[in-house]
Every structure is written in C-alpha cells, then in structure tokens.
Amino acid sequence: MAMPVLNLALKSLWNRRTTALLTISAIAVSVALLLGVQKLRTAAREGFANTVSGVDLIVGARSGPLNLLLYSVFRVGDATANVSWASYQKIARHPDVAWTIPISLGDSHRGFRVMGTDHSYFEHYRFGGTRELRFDSGGPFHDLYDAVLGADVARTLGYRLGDSIVIAHGVGNVSFAEHKDKPFRIAGILAPTGTPVDRTVHVSLEAITAIHIDWQSGMQAPEGFRVSADEARLRDLTPDSITAFLVGMRSRVMTFTMQRAINDYRQEPLLAILPGVALSQLWELVGIADTALMVIAAFVVLAGLLGMLTAILTSLNERRREMAVLRAVGARPRHIFALLVAEAGLLASVGVAAGVCLTYLLLLAGRPLLERRFGIFVGVSGLSALDLEVLGTVVLAALLMGVLPALRAYRNTLSDGLQIRV
Amino acid sequence: MSDPAIDIHSLEFAWKGQSRLLAIERFTVARGERVFIKGPSGSGKSTLLGLIGGVLAPQSGTIRLIGTALSELDAGGRDRFRGEHFGFIFQMFNLIPYLTVRENVLLPLQFSAARRRRIAGSEPQHEALRLLEALGLTVDGLLERPVTELSIGQQQRVAAARALIGRPDIVVADEPTSALDADTRVSFLKLLMHECGTFGTTLLFVSHDSSLSAQFDRTLSMSDINDLRAPAH
C-alpha cells in the first residue's frame, strides 16, 4: 500500500505546486545555508590550523604560549620582551636546525603591522599544508628600503608596485611619530593566503634597524643629530635583538629535544612552542563563534520546516472532502496519516536535494572570490558523513513534524467518516 | 447467495452526547435489489449510510452485509470490507481534484486486491473506459483529462464509474443527482440502473427527490426504516 500513498502524495503536492515550490525553496535555502556554514567552518578550521605549517618551533621571550603564538603568527598583541641577536644566532647555527625565520615587530603602516624578517621567510614560510608564499607582482625586498605587502594591505590601501610608503612608529592605527625620512618602495605584493600574512607589511631586519637608528626611547633624535636614509646604509645594521623566530628542524625527531633545550636556555629566558598545539588551543577559543553560526543556521532550517508545517496544516481544511473520498474507496485512517507524513517527507527531501545543489552551485561560483578575498580554500568535495547526518536529521525532523498534520487529518477522518463537510 | 446484501437487526445509534437518532428493528435489502430511500435532510440518511459503510458503529444491534457481521470486524477490517464490497457516489465533490479521470476511476483498485482480481480479465483502463462509455461519457482523451475540466454531470458519471469498477456488491448513492439538471438526472439514473443490473449489484439510492423512485424495485422513506420519530431539529 506504500506506493499508492506515495503516488497520491506526489500528485497532491503537484496540484499545489506553487505553495509546494515555495516551501521547497525555503527549505532549500535554509539547508544551503546550513551546509555552506558547515563547509566554510571546516575550511576555516583547516585554514586556521594551517595558518603556519612546516614550522617546528616558535621561539620568543618567555611569556605564555598563546601570547607568543598571537604576536608571532597572528600579529595580535605585543611581545613583552625581545630575543637577543646573540641567542638567535646561537640557536640558528645549531647543527640540528635547518632554517630559521627571524621576526621583528613593533611598527605599523596605517593599521597594518610591519614585520622585519629576511629572505628565509619567502623561502621557508608555509601555510595551508605545503603552500608557499607566491608573489602576485614584484619579488622579495633587495634594497634596504624595499617593502613587500600582503594581499589585503595592497588591496585595502590600493597600493601598486613602486609606490612609496612611510612606516609609523608603534602599532597604533593613528600614529603621530612616523619614519618620514626613510620612505619605503613597494617591491613586491604577495598573493592572498587567507592568513595574517595578507595583513602584514614585510621589510628586511636591516631596514627595521635603519629606521630606528636615530631613535631613542620612542622619540627621534632632534634635528642635526639625525641619520639620513643614505647615511644609514653605511652603518652596521645588524640588529641587537628580534621579537621572535620560527625554527625548522633538520629532523622532526629533534624537535622536542630542541624545545627543551631552548626552554632551559641559561643566558636568557626563552620560550619555544609547538605551533600545532598552540593553534588548536587557540581554536578552542575562536571556535565558539563558528559554533554560534552553526546554531543560527540550524534555527534557519527550523524556520524553513515550520513554514512547511504551516503550509500543510492550512491545506488540511480544504482537503477534508478529499480525505472522505479516499476513505470511501477503502483507504484506512492510517493511509491518510501516511499520506500527510509522506507529503512532509517529500517536501523536505526535495528541499534538501535542492539545497545540496544550491550549496555546490554557490561554492563553485563563490570559490574564486573566497580564495582571492579571504584565502579560504573550500574543496568541492562530496558530502561528508557529517553532512549526510545533518541532512538526514533535517528529513527526519520534517517527518516528525508531518506527524502533527497527519494526526489532525487522522482525527478528522475518524469523525467525518464518509460525510463530506464543506 | 442466500444471505441478503444488507441485514440490519435491532440497531440503535446516537451521536455522542445526543439522544437516539436511529432505532431500526429490521431492515433488509436482498442481493441485486435496487432500493430507493427518501427522506428530508436530518432524518438520519447519512448516518444510516455511515453505519452501513462501517465508519460508524451502532451502540447496539447488528449489521450483516452479504453474510458478514460488521461488529465482528475491527476498524481496519471494516475499511478493507468497504473497499472491497462497496462503491460510493456522493452528491458532489466526489473526485480527487489532483488525479486524472483514469486515476480517479481506478482508485478503488489501489486499495482492494479483490476488486483488482475481479477485473483480471481485461486491462483496468479498458474496464474504466467501458464503464465510462456505458455511463454515457465519451470525450476525446477522456482518461487522461484532469477531472477539474469536466462538468458536474460528467464528474458524477466518473464517480459512478469509480463506484462500479471491480464489481462491488453494493453501490451506495447519496443524492448523486441533486446537482444535475432534470434531463441529465434521468439519463444518469437509467445508465446507473442498467450497469447495476448487468452484474446484479445491489443499489441503495438515497434522495429527497421522489420523482425518481418509479424506476426502483422498492421505495422506502426514512420513517419506514427508522422506528423513532424524526428528531425535532
């Protein structure tokens, strides 16, 4: 008896196709939102965990691991102390260390952090698994006053290659103390990465030393005692200290030994952290926001299903005689019950299927934009087990909701019998 | 073939919370008999049909239909029995609006294997077409038409074909002609009677229009059947 009932449900829905289509659209849109949030969330989490990859240790002055991660990778907050150049050199030259990337922070340009580093950054920095930094235009800094912009910086401020920029002292958005006498030329613009790299202005370590050469305790020396941009080129620009550095080991196995050695370093209080561990700690904090987004999406789906419930319930009264006719030809009350549950199930199933199509269409269409603007890489993969579970739950919820009109129709048919009440 | 089509004995029925509406000491209809029942609205006609159709249960008494006591069947059994042995034609709105003529006529077969078996000799749609033609409905592409395109008179013929398909034992027609004009009414009735006669189908025809009663084997009024005075309201 399942077939005739399903068949009837299909035809009855087709008969009310305008309402049915609207209901299906509402469900489809809400399901697309839910799936989209889920996909973006997965992509964002992966992107976050891969903000920096291939780095075995992050080393800075002793503070908290999250603090170190925040300022060295996310350019948030400030270091409480620096790492001396001598200590950096000692660790960088250790035989087990393959490479190091020095990081020197403290200045900014129109709200974006300026980071001093060296060429090993462009060579060894990895994100999103094994992705390397790529240049959209230009290349790494070669001259002392060359700067390399992250993608967001160039896009937001509308900079092109060759433009001249001035770096401000300190990290405030509005800084009155600027390194006006030593302007930088934009030598390269990086492709978007979806990481804090996009929001960073990169210069050489020597440049950081050069622009601070005539500064003392946050103030530039008075006129007459200043060192011009060209004079600075002749000085020894080896820095006294850096803010932090990233370490790549020759062999992963040595990472823990090295971490312990750095944390026990006598000459200076240092802290070495494993980026993966610190990143997942940080995600636990940040992840709350995306759970909230998921909850909102779930409520939107609920709203879609409630719309369906309303549509079915309002149709019931005008369909009482249809039910009586079905009863007269031998349909049992449970057939009437099944008919209405089937209608809810069909609406939800078609809605879910349409929602899945919509999601993939949007992902395919939006992928280039997401990648370019936000550096989020959404793989257009099949539905994950979790996705299927979520979609199954939506259909199940619809069937459960269908029980409500079904029960009402069931009661109606019992009291109406063969009487056709109009 | 000795059991009567309908045999009601010592029946009493009252709607919940109301006084008795029906009290029937004895009411029988022989197989193949065509009975006209007339009575004003409110006289309990529809209730009687509900009892015979098995969607209402009497407070006391028995209803035996072609040898089967309805009280011995559970609700599901009564539904199955109705689907198998009954054809209903109502006053109007007989058809499922979202089904075609063919789907409407074949609907009882979906719910009753017995009726499917009874027409096993021919294709269901041939049988549907034969019945429709016998009832005077010949329209091009009739079977696949949406029923909403048909006139009321045509719709009643489709309803009659649906009641008759798969040869039910009893056809119950509740004011089937009241929405039709006089000419159509007579021809509709004639064809319905003829079709019932061909297979010996028992016909219970309820109407307030006694001008039609002449063509029936027997004419009864509700007050003949019901031992109670018609209720005041």
B139 close to A (CB below 8 A): no
By the CB < 8 Å criterion, does B155 face chain A? no
Q: Read off the pLDDT band of A417 (50, 70, 90).
A: low
Residues A91, A239, single domain; the answer is yes
* Banded pLDDT at A163 (limits 50, 70, 90): very high
Say if CB B107 and CB B165 are below 8 A apart: no
Give the residue from chain A lying closest to B106, CA to CA. Answer: A329
Residues A112 and A14 in one domain: no
Computed over every residue of chain B, the mean pLDDT equals 85
Of all residues in chain A, the one with the smallest CA distance to B88 is: A328
* A419 contacts B93? CB cut-off 8 A: no
Domain of A320, in residue numbers = 2-48+287-416
pLDDT band (50, 70, 90) for residue A373? low
Please tell me if residue B13 touches chain A, with a CB cutoff of 8 Å.
no
Strand pairing report for A184-190 and A215-216 = unpaired
pLDDT tens-place string over residues A94-104: 999 999 999 99
ipTM for the whole predicted complex goes beyond 0.90: no
**Same domain membership, residue A356 and residue A242:** no
Same domain, A227 and A299: no
Q: What is the CATH number of domain B33-57+71-225?
A: 3.40.50.300
Q: Give the chain A residue whose CA is nearest to the CA of B111.
A: A330
Q: Which residues of A touch B98 (CB under 8 A)?
A: 11-12, 14-16
Task: For residue range A7-39, list pLDDT tens digits in order.
Answer: 888 888 888 889 899 999 999 999 999 988 888
Helix (H) or strand (E) holding A353: helix A333-369
Sign of CA dihedral A341, A347, A353, A355: negative
Residue A349, CA distances (Å) to A8, A36, A344, B215 in order: 16, 18, 8, 54
To which residue do tokens 């069931």 refer? A410
Same-domain check for residues A126 and A244: yes
List of E strands, chain B: 6-13, 22-29, 34-38, 60-65, 68-69, 86-89, 170-174, 202-207, 218-221
Domain count, chain A: 2
What's the pTM value of the predicted model, to 2 decimals? 0.70
B162–chain A nearest CA distance, Å: 9
Judge contact between A185 and A159, C-beta under 8 A: no
| pLDDT score of A186 more than 90 | yes
A333 and B75 within 8 Å at the Cβ level: the answer is yes
Same domain membership, residue A177 and residue A73: yes
Nearest to A332 among B76, B103, B108 (CB): B76
Residues A117 and A242 in one domain: yes
In a domain, A133, yes or no: yes
Residue A278 vs residues A285, A302, A310: alpha-carbon distances, Å: 11, 36, 49
Model confidence pLDDT, tens digit, residues B15-65: 888 888 888 889 999 998 999 998 877 778 888 888 888 888 888 899 999
Task: Confirm whether A421 is domain-assigned.
Answer: no
Q: What is the pLDDT of residue A172?
A: 65
**CB-CB under 8 Å, B88 with A328:** yes
- Chain B residues 61-100 with a CB less than 8 Å from chain A: 75-76, 79-80, 82-84, 86, 88, 90-91, 93-99
Identify which of A18, A29, A136 has the alpha carbon closest to the alpha carbon of residue A357.
A29
In a domain, A398, yes or no: yes
Minimal C-alpha gap between B148 and chain A (Å): 11
Residue B233: which pLDDT band, with cuts at 50, 70 and 90?
A: very low
> Does residue A400 sit in the same domain as residue A318?
yes
**Among partner residues A1, A335, A418, which is closest to B88 by beta-carbon distance?**
A418
CA distance B175 to chain A (A): 12
Residue A135 sits in the same domain as residue A257: yes
B103: distance to nearest CA of chain A, Å? 10
pLDDT at B232: 47
Same domain, A39 and A63: no
Same domain, A154 and A187: yes
Within a domain: residue A279?
A: no
* Chain B residue with Cα closest to A421: B93
Query: Domain check: are A325 and A359 in the same one?
Result: yes
Point out the domain boundary residue: A218, A251, A273: A273
Distance CA A349, CA A2 (A): 17
Predicted confidence at residue B174, as pLDDT, reads 86
